Structure 1
Amino acid sequence: MKFLIVGLGNIGPEYALTRHNAGFMVLDRLAAQHGFSFTMNRLAYTAAWSYKGKQLFFIKPTTFMNLSGKAVAYYMKQENIPVDNILVISDDKDIDFGKLRMKPKGSAGGHNGLRNIDEVLATQQYARLRFGIGNAFSRGRQIDFVLGQFPDSELAMLPEVLDRAGDAALAFCTMGIQQAMNNFNQ
C-alpha cells in the first residue's frame, strides 16, 4: 500500500524556519530521524521510504505555497496513489502553537496552499494534519506573522511538536485516519 505525505512550505533560505514552513519542517525531521533523504525532482523535493510494510512517498513542493496543488496532483498520478492515501501537513494560525489537528477532509480554512490543492484535485476529500502556529499578531499583520520565524520560547518546544506531528503522519499510514485522530488530535 502506498501513501503520499505532503509537507507544505516555501523554498529558499529566507523561509527556512518560518511558521508557514511547518509542513517542510515535519518532513525534514522525519527524514533526519529515520535516515532517508530528499532529492530535487520535478515540482518537489521527494523521498521514498518503506515503513511497517507500507510504501511512503514524501514531497515538499517547490512550486511555492500558493501552487502546491500542481505538485500534489503530479505525484498522485506518477506514483498511482489514491486520494484516500494522501496526507497534507500545513501550518494553521487558528490552532494554538504546539497543538495538532488531523481531519479526514475539510475546507482550506483560509490557507492558500490547501485552497490550491482543493482546486487542482477538485476535491476536499483528502486527509490533512494541521500544525498549530497560534495567532499572536495584530490586525493586518497576519502575513508578517505567518512568514515570521518562531520566537525562542516556541523554538525550544518545536522539536517535541515536530516529533508528534511526524508520529501522527506515520500513524495515518499504519493505523488509519480514525485511530491517528484519536491518538494525536488535541
Structure 2
Amino acid sequence: MKCIVGLGNPGRKYKKTRHNIGFMVIDELLSRYKWKLNKTKFNGNYTLENVDGEKVILLQPQTYMNLSGEAIGPLIDFYNIDVKDTLVIYDDLDLPTGKIRLRQKGGHGGHNGIRSTIDHLGTKEFNRIRIGIGRPTTPIPVVDYVLGKFPKHQQEDASKSINNAADACIAWMEKPFNEVMNEFNS
C-alpha cells in the first residue's frame, strides 16, 4: 500500500495559494482518475483506491500546514503503511516556479509542514516531491508570499509543475522511487 500526501491549508481562502500546491497535485490526481476524497478521518480528507492491484491512499491533511504530521502519522499507522511507501508533496521557496525535485530523505529546510511530518513519523527518510514556488522579488513577508496566489505570468509554470508532480506520482505507483527520481530530476 502507498500513501501520497499533498500538503496545504484547508478552506476556500487558501485554495489557489502557493502554499497549497501539494493539494493541487492531489486534486490533479483525483481528476485524472475520476476519484473523490470520500473519507474524513485522522484530521484529513482522503481516498483509498486500487491501481493495478495495489492500494493507494491520496491524502490532504486538514490540520493547516504547520501541523500536517498530525494527519499523516496516525493515517499511516492505522493502515500500517511503511514510511518508505509514503510520498509527501509540498511547496519550496528555494526552487524556481515550475521546477520539481524528488528526494528520498532530508531535513525540513525551514518548512513547518515537513518539520511536523518528520516529528510525527519519527524519521527524515520518506519520499518527497518539492515543488518550486520561487522567492518573492519584492519586499513582502514570506508568509504573505506563500499565502498569495500565483500571478498570471507564473500560472503556466505552476501548472506545468503540478502536472509533472502528478506524472511522478503515477510513475511511482509502477516503479521504485529511486527510478522515478532519476527520471524526473534529470
- TM-score class, shorter: over 0.9
Q: Provide the rounded CA distance (Å) in 2 between the counterparts of 1:125 and 1:139.
A: 35
Aligned pairs, number: 185
What is the CA distance between 1:156 and its match in structure 2? 2.9
What is the CA distance between 1:54 and its match in structure 2? 2.0
Write out per-residue CA displacement over residues 9-44 of structure 1, whole angstroms, 9 at most, x where no aligned residue. Answer: 000111000000000000001101111111351211
What is the CA distance between 1:158 and its match in structure 2? 3.2
TM-score with structure 1 setting the length: 0.94
Q: Provide the rounded CA distance (Å) in 1 between the counterparts of 2:58 and 2:68.
A: 13
Q: Provide the rounded CA distance (Å) in 1 between the counterparts of 2:108 and 2:139.
A: 21
Report the AA paired with residue 107 of structure 2.
Answer: S
User: Match of 1:63?
Assistant: 63
Q: Provide the rounded CA distance (Å) in 1 between the counterparts of 2:28 and 2:173.
A: 17
Runs in 1 of length 4+ with deviation above 6 angstroms?
none
User: Match of 1:36?
Assistant: 35
2:87–2:127 CA contact under 8 A, matched in 1: yes
What is the CA distance between 1:53 and its match in structure 2? 2.7
Q: Provide the rounded CA distance (Å) in 2 between the counterparts of 1:156 and 1:128.
A: 23
Report the AA paired with residue 84 of structure 1.
Answer: K
User: Match of 1:82?
Assistant: 82
User: Match of 2:23?
Assistant: 24
Report the AA paired with residue 16 of structure 1.
Answer: K
Equivalent residues in 2 for 1:163-174 (5 A)? 163-174=163-174
Runs (5+) with no aligned partner, structure 2: none
TM-score with structure 2 setting the length: 0.94
1:90–1:129 CA contact under 8 A, matched in 2: yes
Aligned pair 1:149/2:156, yes or no?
Answer: no
Report the AA paired with residue 7 of structure 1.
Answer: G
Report the AA paired with residue 82 of structure 1.
Answer: D
